[in-house]
Amino acid sequence: MTTVQYSTKLTLEQIKALKKISEQTHVPQAVLVREAVSLLIEELRDKAVSLNFLNLVKKKVKQDKKLLKKIANS
């Protein structure tokens, strides 16, 4: 896996917690951050697909309601 340097800002609390976890687990902070980002991406990717599907269903239901009203008023 090729890695690329990426810069971001963290709160002091996040930095302290990350350092503590790194010291306790003997896992470098960079590895912990990469793993955390991977977990977040995996979780949100699944949710994004679900949310996209839900939005499509809502759009279709709204269109169907409009069509049903037109038919009822004919």
pLDDT at 39: 93
List all residues 6 or more positions away from 27 whose beta carbon is below 8 Å from its beta carbon.
21
Does this model's pTM top 0.75? My answer is: no
What single-letter amino acid sits at 30? A
Residue ranges per domain, the chain? 12-72
Place of tokens 């503590």: 20
- What is the C-alpha separation between 70 and 22, in angstroms, rounded? 63
pLDDT at 59: 87
- What is the C-alpha separation between 49 and 31, in angstroms, rounded? 27
pLDDT in tens, 31-71: 999 999 999 888 888 776 677 788 888 888 888 888 888 78
